[in-house]
Amino acid sequence: LFSFLSQPLVTGLVPSLDSTLGGTNVTINGLNLGYTQSDVSRVVIGERECTPFVLHSDRRLTCISPPGTGQSVVVQVINAGNLESPAAGLFSYRPPTIASVSPNYVLTGNVTYDFFITGTNFGNTLDSPSAVVVGGVACPNVTLVNATALWCRGVSGWSGACASVLL
């Protein structure tokens, strides 16, 4: 039998927002996704495969989101004919949020501090923060404990009460 595969087109995802840890069941809606499971060779969110995936119809498939970071990341369905959906920025990972910074007070002057920061979406085992800033000073040494905690070590010249985490 001969089957003709058209270029797939991703039109939407549910949910369209996920934590940096991934692991969420995602429904991908579109056109020409495939007629049988073997029609789909890969599903990619960001730069990572969304596996396992299950094709439900030529307009819907589901997969488990990979860990990642970023806003409006590329979502692609690649079929067995190596045709891929045009890049679609229909999916985002939640940005980091800060719940606490400890210590929450410091002495002025040339003192070096280590800060323990808690919150959400600080990254995962594959993606760690690209920058952590405390009081306007970049952390020279960042250690990701897990997605909700990190150490910012060796900050000196701290002059404010503001902290930020960038992924």
At residue 155, the pLDDT reads 76
Q: Is 143:153 a contact under the CB 8 Å cutoff?
A: yes
At residue 24, the pLDDT reads 96
Chunked in runs of 10, what are the mean pLDDT values of the chain (167 residues)? Answer: 77 94 95 94 94 96 94 93 84 92 74 87 84 83 91 74 65
Query: What whole-number distance in Å separates Cα of residue 46 and Cα of residue 72?
Result: 9
CA torsion through residues 125, 136, 134, 111, sign: positive
At residue 89, the pLDDT reads 82
At residue 111, the pLDDT reads 75
At residue 159, the pLDDT reads 59
At residue 16, the pLDDT reads 94
